[in-house]
Structure formats: C-alpha cells, structure tokens
Amino acid sequence: MYKVVDLFAGAGGLSLGFMQTRKYDIKVAFENSPYMQETYRLNHPGVEVQGDVCAANYDEIKKKYGDIDVVIGGPPCQGFSNANRQKNHAISQNNMLVKQYIRAILELKPKAFVMENVSMLKSDVHRFYMEESDIETVAKYKIPVKSTYLHLLDQAYVFDGALEIVKDQQKIQQYLWPEQHYFELNVIYKAAKNLEKMKSALEKHKKKLCAAAADYAKLHDSNHITSVSSEAFQAISEYYSGELDASALKSRIEPAILIQRMLSKAQEIHENHIVVDAYSVEDGIAAVIRSFAVYDYLERVLQAPENGYVLDKDVLCAADYGAPQKRMRFVVIGIKRSISSKIALPKGRFDADEYRTVRARRHHRFGRCRAGR
C-alpha cells in the first residue's frame, strides 16, 4: 500500500476517500484544531495525528515510517476566498499555509501529491505579498512579480505625521488600540447601515463599550490619533447618556476606526517583513509592495528540474463526479517526472442532466426502506 501524509486533514474526509480505494495507508494527519483532531481520531483510529503543520518535522516522519509516497490536503483558504475578517487584516496568515504545503512536498519528496483549494486560487487575483524571506526563492525560480498598491488610509482622513507613524513600528504599537476595544467599536461601525441593527448591537455591547469609553476619557494627549480615539468613545458615552442620537454615531466614530485599520495593516507589514518599495501619498496613503500569484509560485517551484514534478490542474465540480452538490474546487495533482512525463485529472462521469441530488437519494433510500417492510 502507498504511504500517505494528510495535511490540513479536518475531520478526515480526504483521508477517507483515499482509504476507500484500499490502496493507500494514511500514516500521519496534520490538523491544528483540537476539535477536528478528536473527530479525525474517531473516524480514523490508528492514524497518528499531529497539530501545527508549521512545526512539522518531516525527517522524523521519514525515520518512523520510511519514504512517504503521497501527500494530500487542502490548505485553509480564507485568505484566498475573500473571507471577511473582523479587523480587516491586510495579510491572511492562512495564505502562508500554502507555502507550508509546498514545504511538505519538498522535504518529504513524495511520488505524487493532491492539493485542493477554492476555485479562484487559479486566478491572478490571489497573490502573496513578497516577504524578505521570499526574495531568494522568487529570483531562483523566476516567479513573475508585479507592483501592488496596498491602500492604508483614505485622503479625507490623512493627518500631519501619518506617514511617519506608518513607517515606525514602535509608534504604531503606541497608538494601536487593544484588540477588544477595536472589536467592540467596529461592530457598531459595521452595523451603522441599519439603524435598528446598530441599536441592537449597542445594547448588546453596552457594558464593554462603557468600560472602554471610561478608559479613553482619561487620555489627555493632544496628538491627532488620541484625539479622534477619545472623540469616538465620547460619542459612545453621549449615546448611552441620551445626549446623542444613534444616527449621528457613525460620523463620530469613523475617523478613529479607519485610522486604526491603517495602523493594523501597517503593523502587519512590519510583522510579516513585507518588502515595501515606497509609500504613495497621491490619494491617501498606500504601501507600494511586490506580489506574485499563488499558482505561479506553486508551479514554478514544483516543476523546477531539481524538484521534478509534472502537474495538472483544473476547477472541478463535485456533481460531475457523483456528489449531490455543485461545489467548485481548484485541484492540482503532481507526480514525479521520473515516474511519468504526463499526468491528468480524471474526467467527470456525470453530465448536468444526470446529476445526483439529495432529494433523489432520499427518495431512493425511502423506497428501499418501504420495500423492506
């Protein structure tokens, strides 16, 4: 049997598909969520389950199990599926997990691999921002790079000294709110499109917002960021005291929210060592950075002669293969060039007018149950 490592294994669905062929033996599964780990162990007793894939020691796995034949998995896709994150982060930490998947292939050197992700991963839209650690890899594999503008702050909210703060990580940390304060106020800001929804949010978060407002009422610093922060939470206090109508809240808290978003994005640039070529102040503030497409990275690295994989890729619809759902996923498969010079994804077996549905399958099962009575 072929020995398999499953990355980002979840509850073990992909492992199950491979095991059902009776040709594959899952040796190790990586899953960071304790709840998913528990579920995986119930579904696949006997498989070694490890946690954070970033801490994976693939040499130890090879010592324990010998050569691994196949690597499978679907790196978490929030960063590529435009999932809305509460703090409007510029850089999803989930994006780096695609690089971790590639690291696993390069270190385990399997005969073949299967990777699935959101259907849009194949497009040029989904890109990595270049980090300092990427410079050598991008040059070595001649990965196409383009200049990208990362917007930080609208022109209407730019203030004297804003650009200097963005460039200075210590100053960013000085003015960045605690995560909980931002979360509470941002909930109100996002709900402002619907007055009743905003009032409901204000009632729900009253205790924590009042506590935060009391903290900011004590600040007496005259700089712009402290002033707009105090103004935002003063507006919250005035609302709860009956001095301010809810309809007037958005305009009072918006400057502080947007400046905090600028600080958060700038902090991520520093923490992730993103290469910034320049800052633009033509229309607000933006960081001019370099980026490269996720698939270009994957293809150039794995198809390089020293790594030696042949790839095939496509967006597949689950219904074409008999699953009762129209789920589109981007699938990449690869095999060592020393084994075969070609590889091809399997063709779907069902046309649109033949798709299986949950309703049909329920009726089929119900009919069998009645016939068995």
pLDDT at 352: 85
User: What pLDDT was estimated at residue 77?
Assistant: 57
Which pLDDT does position 362 carry in this prediction? 53
For residue 43, pLDDT beyond 60: yes
CA angle 69, 75, 78 (to 5 degrees): 175
Rounded to two decimals, the pTM is 0.79
Q: What is the pLDDT of residues 132-181, one digit of tens each?
A: 999 999 999 999 999 989 999 999 999 999 999 999 999 999 999 999 99
User: What are the structural domains, with CATH classification, of the chain?
Assistant: 2-127+291-371 (3.40.50.150), 150-288 (no CATH)
- pLDDT higher for 79 or 191? 191
Q: How sure is the predictor about 121, in pLDDT bands with cuts at 50, 70 and 90?
A: low
Nearest CA to 7 out of 128, 81, 113, 92 is that of 113
Determine the Cα angle at 70 with ends 64 and 72, to 5°. 110
**CA 263 to centroid of chain Cα atoms:** 20
**Using CA atoms, how far apart are residues 23 and 17, in angstroms rounded to an integer?**
11
CA distances from 71 to 9, 23, 330 (A): 11, 14, 16
Q: What pLDDT score was predicted for residue 127?
A: 82
SS (H, E, C) the chain: CEEEEEECCCCCHHHHHHHHCCCEEEEEEECCCHHHHHHHHHHCCCCEEECCHHHCCHHHHHHHHCCCCEEEECCCCCCCCCCCCCCCCCCCCCCHHHHHHHHHHHHHCCCEEEEEEEHHHHCCCCEEECEHHHHHHHHHCCCCCEEEEEEEECHHHCCCCHHHHHHCHHHHHHHCCCHHHHHHHHHHHHHCCCHHHHHHHHHHCHHHHHHHHHHHHCCCCCCHHHHHHHHHHHHHHHHHCCCCCHHHHHHHHHHHHHHHHHHHHHHHHHHCCECEEEEECCCCEEEEEEEEEHHHHHHHHHCCCCCCEEEEEEEEEHHHHCCCCCCEEEEEEEEECCCCCCCCCCCCCCCHHHCCCHHHHHHHHHHHHHHCC
In this prediction, residue 87 carries a pLDDT of: 42
* Residue 35 reports pLDDT greater than 60: yes
Q: Which of 258, 210, 257, 254 is nearest to 234 (CA)?
A: 210
Instruction: Quick: pLDDT tens for 196-235.
Output: 999 999 999 999 999 999 988 887 777 899 999 999 999 9
Q: Residues 290-344: pLDDT tens digits?
A: 999 888 999 999 999 999 999 999 999 999 988 888 888 889 999 999 999 999 9
Question: Can you tell me the mean pLDDT for 67-89?
Answer: 64
pLDDT of 278 reads: 96
Return the pLDDT at 320.
92
Sign of the C-alpha dihedral computed for residues 82, 113, 60 and 26 taken in this order = positive
Residue keyed to tokens 């996720």: 294
Residue 85's pLDDT band (cuts 50, 70, 90)? very low
pLDDT of residue 84: 33
HSE, side-chain direction, 13 A CA sphere, residue 360: 8
Count of CB atoms situated within 10 Å of the CB of 272? 16
pLDDT at 327: 87
Would you say 262 and 90 are in contact if contact means Cβ atoms under 8 Å apart?
A: no
pLDDT digits (tens, 9 = 90+) for 239-266: 999 999 999 999 999 999 999 999 999 9
User: How far lies 48's CA from each of 43, 63, 68, in Å?
Assistant: 12, 14, 14
Torsion 224-229-232-236 (CA) sign: negative
Q: Within a 10 A sphere around the Cβ of 66, how many other Cβ atoms?
A: 10
- Mean pLDDT of the residues in the chain: 89
Q: Does residue 370 have a pLDDT over 50?
A: no
Angle between helices 224-240 and 206-217 (to 10 degrees): 130
Residue 184 or residue 121, greater confidence: 184
